[in-house]
Structure 1
Amino acid sequence: MIVGIATLFAMLFGGGSLDYYYIDKIEEGVKKEIVDKDRKKELQAELKAYTKVVKEFYKVRNKDFKVLKTKNLERGINEDYYLDFFDKRMQERVKLQETTLESRLALQEKITDDEWDAIMKKASSAETKEEEKAQRKKAKKDDKNAFREQETAIVQNVADQDRRANLLEGLAIYEATYNQIHESYESINVNESEALIDKNLSREKIIAIGEQLNEQRITLYKGFSVFIITAKANSTEEDYKAIMKAFNKLIK
């Protein structure tokens, strides 16, 4: 399962639980399944230290994306700004993934096979799967509604038919990119990937999973930039602000 499933936009623009060991309820699993007190204490300290790094990452990330939303309303911001913004976010993401990698590998070494199996059993239980299904359904609905709100903003604010058609086409292309990525995203969880269940998951395989997620992020970032360019070319100053206020809702 994917812990606390967020919308795809939240995962790609922000992070989501996929960058957190790729394991559901890991803290709960360590607390309940590790019998040796000293080793449990050591593992909990490891998780606490990692959680601190993640919280700091999101603290900085949230500030950066708050600025991005403000910049999105400025029609004069050029494409170079977005390319630089997303490049820096990817550098920060890769740094966090490196920390995640080392932390998961350390965790794997300190947990016995039986303990690991018990943790994975909880993560892939029928109850957990039903919880995931409900969360995923809501996440899809939230993202779909965000796109429909964007369409409404375009129709209501852009009077010129040709420009409106160009904007709606650009949005449709971006949504199609989203839907394609979503299918791949859903396969990266312990219920559908044998690799993620593997206690001896190698450094190379963990890196490959991270790279897969990063490729998805880059694809969506590029689509984001392309839509921005389309919006600038097919709107007035006033139209642009109304369109981008709705577009900002896609960024969680």
Structure 2
Amino acid sequence: MIIGIIALITTLFFGGPGEIFYVDNLEKGIKKSILDKERKKEILADFKITKGIIKNYEKQRKKDFKAFNEIYARKATTKNQLDSFFDSIQDTRSTYQNKIIDQRILIFDKIEDQEWSEIIESSVTSAEKRIQKFEKKALKNNDGFGKTKASIKSTISDRVKADSILKGIENIEVTLKELEKALLSFNASDNKILANKHSDKKALLDIVKNDSEKRLPFMNAVIDFHQNLKNNSLDSEFDQIIKVFLKEANMTSK
């Protein structure tokens, strides 16, 4: 079950550990494995530009995250509004990933095959350790959305409506668990295309598309939960439950 680390800001708004070209500790590997000082300097300059692109995208993600909290907390928000919001997020993501893939191809073309072998070997080890750490932490946090479920049961007196809302939160849990597994698989250890420095743009865009598609069931579950709660609760009941859900899901603004 989610432990607030892949968290909603990652699953709903894209991103995650090792997402710089989906290669863990890439900058560290470049500094360690490339001995030619001038070429290393050139590659790191390109890498700095890449980090600037990522930084700007992160700023936009945080703005989108804040906007999502605001519209999701309102009972009047419609399904169409939530769908449109996520469509906009996807458009921003597509533009960003095109830039990132272009940077990957530019940088990787300047890395020699032997150097890349060393970089990817270190990256795979790092990815495996990250995944193991995540899985161990997940085992200690398996109570899911327990507080939200308790809030639903104590707030909604009509059992039929309460059961319907509970099914919605259970669907979020199921789709989120599957998504966590999928996101962890996007790394150079499990994907030959990501591990190949010669992979072309089309192959990389297909991975990005697959990444986005993996998130859709969870996104839909989050949207459906909002609408289900909206249709089966009074205004005060909605406000109480959605507040608990947002806090438990680690969605509240810091």
Please indicate, yes or no, whether the TM-score normalized by the shorter chain is above 0.5: yes
Q: Equivalent of 2:245, from 218, 233, 247? A: 247
Judged with a 3 Å threshold, the aligned counterparts in structure 2 of structure 1 residues 241 and 137 are, in CA distance, closer, same or farther, namely farther
Q: Which residue does the alignment assign to 1:189?
A: 187
Alignment of 1:2-21 (within 5 A): 6-7=5-6, 9-14=8-13, 15-17=15-17, 19-21=19-21
Residues 193-247 of structure 1: CA deviation (Å, up to 9, x unaligned)? 2222112122122111100111123332222111111010111111111221122
Residue 53 of structure 1 deviates from its aligned partner by 1.3
Judged with a 3 Å threshold, the aligned counterparts in structure 2 of structure 1 residues 21 and 140 are, in CA distance, closer, same or farther, namely farther
Judged with a 3 Å threshold, the aligned counterparts in structure 2 of structure 1 residues 35 and 209 are, in CA distance, closer, same or farther, namely same
The yes-or-no answer on 1:24 pairing with 2:24 is yes
Secondary structure of the 1:118 match is helix
Secondary structure of the 1:17 match is coil
Q: Which residue does the alignment assign to 2:134?
A: 135
Question: Which is worse superposed, 7-16 or 68-77?
Answer: 7-16
Q: Which residue does the alignment assign to 2:235?
A: 237
Q: Equivalent of 2:157, from 150, 156, 159? A: 159
Secondary structure of the 2:35 match is coil
CA contact (8 A) 1:13 1:251 kept: no
How many aligned residue pairs are there?
246
- Write the letter of the residue equivalent to 2:193: A
Residue 131 of structure 1 deviates from its aligned partner by 4.2
**What is the RMSD computed on CA atoms of the aligned residues?**
2.1
In the superposition, the TM-score normalised over structure 1's length comes to 0.89
Judged with a 3 Å threshold, the aligned counterparts in structure 2 of structure 1 residues 128 and 67 are, in CA distance, closer, same or farther, namely closer
Judged with a 3 Å threshold, the aligned counterparts in structure 2 of structure 1 residues 200 and 140 are, in CA distance, closer, same or farther, namely farther
Judged with a 3 Å threshold, the aligned counterparts in structure 2 of structure 1 residues 128 and 205 are, in CA distance, closer, same or farther, namely closer
Q: Which residue does the alignment assign to 1:56?
A: 56
Judged with a 3 Å threshold, the aligned counterparts in structure 2 of structure 1 residues 128 and 181 are, in CA distance, closer, same or farther, namely closer
Judged with a 3 Å threshold, the aligned counterparts in structure 2 of structure 1 residues 11 and 43 are, in CA distance, closer, same or farther, namely same
Unaligned runs of 5+ in 1: none
Question: Which is worse superposed, 203-212 or 147-156?
Answer: 147-156
Cα distance in 2 for partners of 1:18, 1:86 equals 23
Cα distance in 2 for partners of 1:206, 1:27 equals 20
Residues 139-192 of structure 1: CA deviation (Å, up to 9, x unaligned)? 5755x5452232122123222211111111111122222223333323222222
Secondary structure of the 1:27 match is helix
Q: Which residue does the alignment assign to 1:215?
A: 213
The yes-or-no answer on 1:117 pairing with 2:117 is yes
Cα distance in 2 for partners of 1:16, 1:63 equals 17
Cα distance in 1 for partners of 2:242, 2:121 equals 44
Judged with a 3 Å threshold, the aligned counterparts in structure 2 of structure 1 residues 211 and 105 are, in CA distance, closer, same or farther, namely same
Cα distance in 2 for partners of 1:78, 1:110 equals 49
CA contact (8 A) 1:39 1:110 kept: yes
Judged with a 3 Å threshold, the aligned counterparts in structure 2 of structure 1 residues 202 and 185 are, in CA distance, closer, same or farther, namely same
Q: Which residue does the alignment assign to 1:72?
A: 72
CA contact (8 A) 1:7 1:139 kept: no
Residues 91-145 of structure 1: CA deviation (Å, up to 9, x unaligned)? 00011110111011111100001110111111123x7633431134325755x54
Q: Which residue does the alignment assign to 2:172?
A: 174
- Write the letter of the residue equivalent to 1:17: P
- Write the letter of the residue equivalent to 2:197: K
Residue 79 of structure 1 deviates from its aligned partner by 1.5
In the superposition, the TM-score normalised over structure 2's length comes to 0.88
Question: Which is worse superposed, 6-15 or 87-96?
Answer: 6-15
Cα distance in 2 for partners of 1:177, 1:199 equals 32
Alignment of 1:141-152 (within 5 A): 144-152=142-150
CA contact (8 A) 1:19 1:100 kept: no
